Structure 1
């Protein structure tokens, strides 16, 4: 007999696990910025978050406080090579709400050559979030042509 050992909270087959310098504050930010809902929260004896799970826009993330002996936050690492991507119904509204909650704009929202309206923010805990709303469906050839045109314009504006 196979036992059902699924967790007590809903997570998908691939779930980002964010290390935060202040996981409780991060959960507050994700509630305010993205309408996040805390599904599970487990604090250790010292109050640090050992594990938490949130639902954001239909997906889930897990959070943990920084434990220097085991894991470090983007602040401790002085950045992160990872960004989380949110597909939303109104990128401008989602970005404005995140900025109002304390996020920093890295790349302002704009129409992109691949057909999305897209922007990039950094949350107060050092995690980067790309946020996008699809605007038009393009073929691979149209996307490639748009990419080449964007590179050409960038090179003209920023000669070496």
Structure 2
């Protein structure tokens, strides 16, 4: 017998997927296509065109979207004044991925650079208030090497390894 998780996976939906609230979710879906090469899996729009449910695939992972409706307690980052969450994308070329997102309308938050943990890493914010890191692993490091590099990067104030 096929599990519900397997059935969802057959439709491109993973057992854990971010569900983004966007002021202008239909525009967000188009932005994600341009910025991150997203593929639309499903779109259910209300009579007014607002997205009641959207599902996309980005880098092989499912991302769901819904239109913000503050009266229903559904608010996106632009209404809330920011987001504490960052979507993390592992990509082949972080520099190119960040530039593609910027060209599509994202704002650069942190320029792509070599990070102490061995990745090329940068951060952009989309026009809907969601933050996206782009990361390309460039060198393998052990946990001990990363801890030592973190300590150096943080001027000796890094936390002890877990």
Q: Of residues 43, 46, 57 in structure 1, which corresponds to 2:45? A: 43
Question: Moved runs in structure 1, 4+ residues, more than 4 A?
Answer: 1-5
Tell me: CA distance 1:3–1:93, structure 2 relative to 1, closer, same or farther (3 Å). closer
Tell me: CA distance 1:148–1:76, structure 2 relative to 1, closer, same or farther (3 Å). same
Structure 1 distance, partners of 2:20, 2:2, is 31
Structure 2 distance, partners of 1:14, 1:3, is 15
- Unaligned stretches of 5+ in structure 1? 155-160
Structure 2 distance, partners of 1:4, 1:99, is 37
**How far has the Cα of 1:30 moved from its partner?**
0.5
Structure 2 distance, partners of 1:85, 1:145, is 23
- Unaligned stretches of 5+ in structure 2? 158-162
Secondary structure of residue in 2 paired with 1:152: coil
Structure 2 distance, partners of 1:2, 1:140, is 38
Structure 1 window deviating more from structure 2 (101-110 vs 144-153): it is 144-153
Q: Of residues 119, 122, 129 in structure 2, which corresponds to 1:119? A: 122
Structure 2 distance, partners of 1:52, 1:128, is 19
Q: Of residues 120, 136, 139 in structure 2, which corresponds to 1:133? A: 136
Instruction: Give per-residue Cα distances to partners, 1:48-93, cap 9 Å, x unaligned.
Output: 1100100111111000000111310101100010010000000011
Instruction: Give per-residue Cα distances to partners, 1:13-63, cap 9 Å, x unaligned.
Output: 100000000011101110111111111000112221100100111111000
Instruction: Give per-residue Cα distances to partners, 1:81-128, cap 9 Å, x unaligned.
Output: 001000000001100000000111111000011111100110000000
Check if 1:150 corresponds to 2:153. Answer: yes
Instruction: Give the TM-score normalised by the residue count of structure 1.
Output: 0.90
Q: RMSD of the TM alignment (CA)?
A: 2.0
Structure 2 distance, partners of 1:36, 1:2, is 27
Instruction: Give the TM-score normalised by the residue count of structure 2.
Output: 0.89
Within-5 A mapping of 1:80-95: 80-95=83-98
Structure 1 window deviating more from structure 2 (3-12 vs 116-125): it is 3-12
Contact in 2 for aligned 1:9/1:40 (Cα 8 Å): no
